Amino acid sequence: MSEFVPASRLEDIPENGMKGVMIGGTAVVLINREGTIYALEDCCSHEEFPLSSGDLVGSEVTCALHGARFDIETGAPRALPAVMPVRTFEVQIDDGEVRVALD
């Protein structure tokens, strides 16, 4: 069973926005899309650039460096130059606290 660790307060993640956080040495981008929170590794699989520096458009996050896009639910690449997915993490919300399972 996965252990969920605190990542952020819900109110600190803007609606239809993103927030980069460090959790136990892992960079994670928290994404609030229409009130649903998603968590991805905050590192583009193409050039190791933080996805939290990019843009959220619909259900995709775009890397600011070269324009690679990733599905926020699955981490799958949606546009070149990325061909490898980024890791996704399970999320829980408990009393306004966003918790993420890193394993």
Provide the number of structural domains found in the chain. 1
- Tens-digit pLDDT profile for residues 34-77: 999 999 999 999 999 999 999 999 999 999 999 999 999 999 99
Instruction: Specify the 3-state DSSP secondary structure of 94.
Output: strand
Helix (H) or strand (E) holding 50: none
pTM for this predicted structure = 0.95
DSSP state for residue 2 in the 8-state scheme: P
CB atoms < 10 A from the CB of 30, how many?
A: 25
Both tokens of residue 8? 């952020």
Range of the domain at 89: 4-101
Confidence of residue 1 (pLDDT cuts 50, 70, 90): low
- Which has the closest alpha carbon to 71: 57, 81, 92? 57
Polymer length in residues for the chain: 103
| Domain at 75, CATH number | 2.102.10.10
Evaluate whether 93 touches 82 at the Cβ level (below 8 Å).
Answer: no
Instruction: Specify the 3-state DSSP secondary structure of 48.
Output: coil
